[in-house]
């Protein structure tokens, strides 16, 4: 029977490998949620992250670049374009980076997250505590 069906690979089946899936843009709910967008960043690793989202009928585009220095810890730069909503915030904790969307469910906004680490839903904004450090825009 095996010869009739044949064998397939991820590529032949039209599926993304786990590594490619991680870097593929993720379309996510941008309300009442926190996503880990960089995970266990290695020493001196540099990469950009892009987050495109809406705030009602307005659009915003954020770029976050980062690296982990063995002497200074996580270093980052955040640039926001179009609008600067107060309900979208970025945080770092150890070697991880997070984005928090504090819109409630009555405002079902969405976002595209493009990160070499993927986007992992880790909870709701109430998980953010004093152990997280907010990342603010660099002027």
pLDDT in tens, 42-75: 888 888 999 999 877 788 899 999 888 888 888 8
Give the pTM. 0.80
**4 pLDDT exceeds 70?**
no
Give percent of the chain with pLDDT exceeding 70: 81
Whether the predicted pLDDT of 11 surpasses 60: no
The answer to whether 47 touches 65, Cβ cutoff 8 Å, is yes
First to last CA, the chain: 64
123 exposed, middle or buried (CB, 10 Å; 0-12, 13-18, 19+)?
middle
The kind and range of the H/E element at 134 are strand 133-135
* CATH architecture for residues 14-135: Sandwich (2.60)
pLDDT band with cut points at 50, 70 and 90 for residue 85 = confident
Going by pLDDT thresholds of 50, 70 and 90, the confidence category of residue 15 is low
């Amino acid at each position: 029977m095996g010869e009739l069906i044949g064998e397939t690979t991820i590529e032949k089946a039209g599926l993304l490998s786990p590594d490619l899936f991680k870097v593929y843009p993720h379309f996510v709910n941008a309300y009442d949620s926190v996503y880990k967008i960089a995970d266990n960043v290695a020493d001196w690793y540099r990469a950009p992250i892009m987050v495109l989202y809406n705030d009602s009928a307005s659009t915003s585009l954020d770029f976050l670049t980062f690296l982990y220095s063995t002497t200074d810890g996580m270093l980052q730069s955040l640039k926001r374009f179009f609008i600067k909503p107060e309900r979208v915030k970025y945080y770092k904790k150890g070697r991880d980076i997070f984005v928090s969307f504090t819109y409630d469910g009555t405002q079902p906004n969405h976002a595209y997250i493009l990160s070499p680490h993927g986007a992992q839903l880790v909870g709701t904004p109430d998980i953010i505590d004093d152990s997280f450090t907010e990342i603010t825009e660099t002027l």
